[in-house]
Structure formats: C-alpha cells, structure tokens
Amino acid sequence: MWALSDFPASAARYPHSAVPRSQPQPLPQRVDGLVEQQRFDRVRCSQDGAGAESLAPGGAMANCRQVLTSLQPRRSAAKNKIRINQDLGSDNMSVAAELANEPGVIAAGEYSYRGDRFTCKGEISDEMARMAAIMCRATTMSEHMQVDMLEEHCPGCGVSPPQGWVVHGPTFSVCNVANVFCFVDNDNASLNHIIALMRKRLAGASHDLV
C-alpha cells in the first residue's frame, strides 16, 4: 500500500487526504523490494502494515502478505513484515485480489476511509490507481451523507447504511462496495456476479470509520 504522501504533488493538491496531524506519526517507508515486485503485480502495500486498522478485515493486509511472502527469499527485511501481516490478515485471498482475478475485471483496489492509504491490483498505472482511489472514496463519502439525509425522510426504509454504488459507462463500469472498488469490462464480466461477490465478501465490513 502506498500513502498519498508518497506523491508530493498529490499531497499538495489533496491536503485533506494526507496523514492525520493530530498525533504526528512517522510515515511508513516502502520496502525496496516491493518497488520491483510492484511492476509485475501492481500491488501497493505499506512496509509495516501501518493503517491496517482502517481497512476492511482480511482486505489489503492479506494482499500485502501475498506480495511480501513472494519476496521472502530475496528480502530478509521483509520477514518481520510477513509475520506482522499474518497476524493481521486472514488466510483467504483479499477481496480486491479475488476480484482482480475475476473475468472482465480490469483492476480492483481498496482505500482507507480516512483517505491516506490505498492498494490496487490490475492493469492500471500507479497514478491512475491513486486517482481512482480518491474518486471512489469521495463518491462513497458523499453517498453516506446522502443516505443519512434520505433516512430522515423514510426512517427504517432499508437504505441505511449504504453498501455501495455502481457507475455504468458505455464500455466499463466502476463497482464499489464498502471501501473496495473494481473496474469492470461490461462485455466480459457479469455485473450481477461481481456485485453479488462484493456484497457477500464485504457483508461484515464496518462503517464506523466513515
């Protein structure tokens, strides 16, 4: 996972998305080996799992563990990180990684609600992954605000809490459930299947951090 502050330009453009300042903490440094691995897997993760508490259970950290595990023979420094991530993550493949392996899914990723971390896997550049995470988070936060307002008009009508949203384009669609998103090729993927899969895997996702 990368921090948005890894992109100096974006940190200036999106100051609200930077690392919280109430209790300044040292930013995690990327494991050097990940940079090389990332070119192939296009997976971003933090070195020490900082910020994992803000991601969905079994999500990004399980993804990170996969990358770090693959680096184990080459990067002794990553060994400790593997242990940490094994403690935090589940044995299952992360939701985003699972989605990325689905037919017709171009890319899948996850972002933290507070906006300082994201991870993405698929055929998408790092910069576009960063932009995708920012846009998806913005839409999700807006949806929560809107649903809170709608709930006032029809208490208990079954809208709250919102689970996600879909933007349907002519060729591609963007699906978001909780804090996980994926880009889907309309002709080669089943939107029904993707949404059902995301809803099932993320049924227990917490909204407390929204």
CA-closest candidate to residue 1, choices 100, 105, 85, 80: 85
- Comparing CB distances to other proteins, the nearer of 20 and 103 is 103
Q: Which of residues 163-182 bind other proteins (CB under 8 A)?
A: 163-172, 174, 177
Contact 85, 61 (CB under 8 A): yes
Total number of residues binding other proteins (CB under 8 A)? 38
- Comparing CB distances to other proteins, the nearer of 67 and 134 is 134
CA–CA separation, 80 and 59 (whole Å): 19
Identified binder of other proteins from the candidate list 5, 69, 86, 190, rule CB under 8 A: 190
DSSP string, 66-132: HHHHHHTTT-GGGHHHHHHHHHHS-SSPPHHHHHHTSTTEEEEEEE-TTSSEEEEEESS-HHHHHHH
CA–CA separation, 183 and 100 (whole Å): 9
Q: State the nearest-atom distance from the C-beta of 111 to other proteins, in Å.
A: 15
Q: State the nearest-atom distance from the C-beta of 194 to other proteins, in Å.
A: 9
- Comparing CB distances to other proteins, the nearer of 93 and 159 is 159
- Any contact of residue 204 with other proteins (CB under 8 A)? no
CA–CA separation, 138 and 11 (whole Å): 16
Q: State the nearest-atom distance from the C-beta of 201 to other proteins, in Å.
A: 14
Q: Which of these ranges, 30-38, 46-54, 94-102, 157-165, lies near other proteins under the rule CB under 8 A? A: 157-165
- Any contact of residue 153 with other proteins (CB under 8 A)? yes
Identified binder of other proteins from the candidate list 125, 188, 206, 209, rule CB under 8 A: 125
Contact 56, 88 (CB under 8 A): no
Ramachandran sector of residue 167 (left: φ over 0; alpha: ψ -120 to 50; beta: rest): beta
CA–CA separation, 11 and 32 (whole Å): 22
Q: State the nearest-atom distance from the C-beta of 172 to other proteins, in Å.
A: 5
Identified binder of other proteins from the candidate list 54, 148, 160, 210, rule CB under 8 A: 160
Judged by the rule CB under 8 A, the positions of this chain that interact with other proteins are 124-125, 128, 131, 135, 139, 142-143, 146-147, 149-150, 153-154, 156-172, 174, 177, 190-192, 195, 199
